[in-house]
Structure 1
Amino acid sequence: MGRGRVELKRIENKINRQVTFSKRRNGLLKKAYELSVLCDAEVGLIIFSSRDKLYEFGSVGVMKTLERYQRCCFNPQDNNNERETQSWYQEVSKLKAKFESLQRTQRHLLGEDLGPLSVKELHNLEKQLEGALTQARQRKTQIMIEQMEELRRKERELGDMNKHLKIKVSHELSTFDNEGQSYRAQLPCPWNSPGHNTTFPMQSNAMECQQEPILQMGYNQFVHGEGSSVQRNMIGESSIHGSWVL
């Protein structure tokens, strides 16, 4: 016959109770260890006997398991803040490491702190500098070409503007000459009359046309050109108050 089901209740016999405690304690500790190994679980076990003796087991340490238990169960908000703080701390650490690496690379490109570098690292640095120099020269050439094209465009614009101004000035001069000729043709001067000799200079004819009578005290002394038929008033030919003026 099979063994019957044992009723779970406190063992009254002190000796039997102690023996049962020892057997089942060892079995429980064994099961906890097997669970942590087989399932890769974090297991923590604490046992207090009736005589206040402590028995414990922790796969990663009982104190660490208790701290984790407290963070997860009693202070969830603090746990979230701690996780967020830890995440930010890791991010800051990564950025700081990257910043230091960039600073170190910049110093190497400037020719500083080259002592710790090996031959291979110096060769790679030389390649980087040559590549950067090539790109800088290409960019400089491109900018110079663009500036030359811009100057040529401005030169063409100024040339077109100059041609336009020349045509405009020529048109204005021709218009001014035509108006001057029309105006001279309308003047009532002797050279406009038929039969007038136009071989005389324009300036003298204009002066003759513009002469007007002048009131003058004393005597007039007219001087004509050589070969003129008009007599010249000589000194002493006119008298004032009946006496000759020398």
Structure 2
Amino acid sequence: MTQIGLRLLFTMELLARSKEGEVKLEDLALSLQAPPSLIEKWLCDLKTKGFMELRGPEGSWIVVDKLGLALEAISLGASPESVSRWLHWRDFEKLCLKVFELNGFRTILSFRFKAIGHLHEVDVLAIKYPLLLAIDCKSWGIRSGKPSMLREAVKRQIKRVEALTSTLPGLKKRLGLEDGARIILTAVIVTLFEESLKIYAGIPIVPISKLNNFIQEIHAYLDSLSTWRMEL
């Protein structure tokens, strides 16, 4: 195995063990059948990046930035889907946000707004003129009844988008949008796994593994999606 391949296994092992709390250098070296000196070097590299911390007199390591560690694994060749399995739902939202940022979007996490007397929240709002995307992140594992659950998620997201549309002119300063800007607003559901249901009511259901490609090709899809177009 190449050293890059071994480092990827090392990083994925840290993600898998992050729920256990502390990790011992010796345990990692034994599990990966790698020299302890090499594992220590990699742990120190991650500490320098702010992803790991060394705690306690016995030399236990703990993950302090799981999202950073996940992005490290992806940079080494891991698929976003395999990495996301080890993430908390909040980290999954941040990973989705990061993919949009890497494609030049301005993003807002947990965007809250009031409309028609109710408080609404969108997991991730992504802005790249003229697009304004309302993203709902679903890190659901394997379970029965998901097509029905996804249809309900789409219906709820459409209601949020309609509420956002009704109050968008009053939010333009908060969102950094100019007077007279012509906006194309749409919704996206991002899932952990690729689902049998690909689109519902004109709203795309995109697995995290294909999110980057979807973003890069979104203008080609717009005519087939439900969109809300308005001038501010």
Larger radius of gyration: 1
Scaled by the length of structure 1, the TM-score of the pair is 0.17
Q: Report 1 or 2 for greater relative contact order, CA contacts < 8 Å, sequence distance ≥ 6.
A: 2
Report which of the two has the higher share of strand. 2
Scaled by the length of structure 2, the TM-score of the pair is 0.18
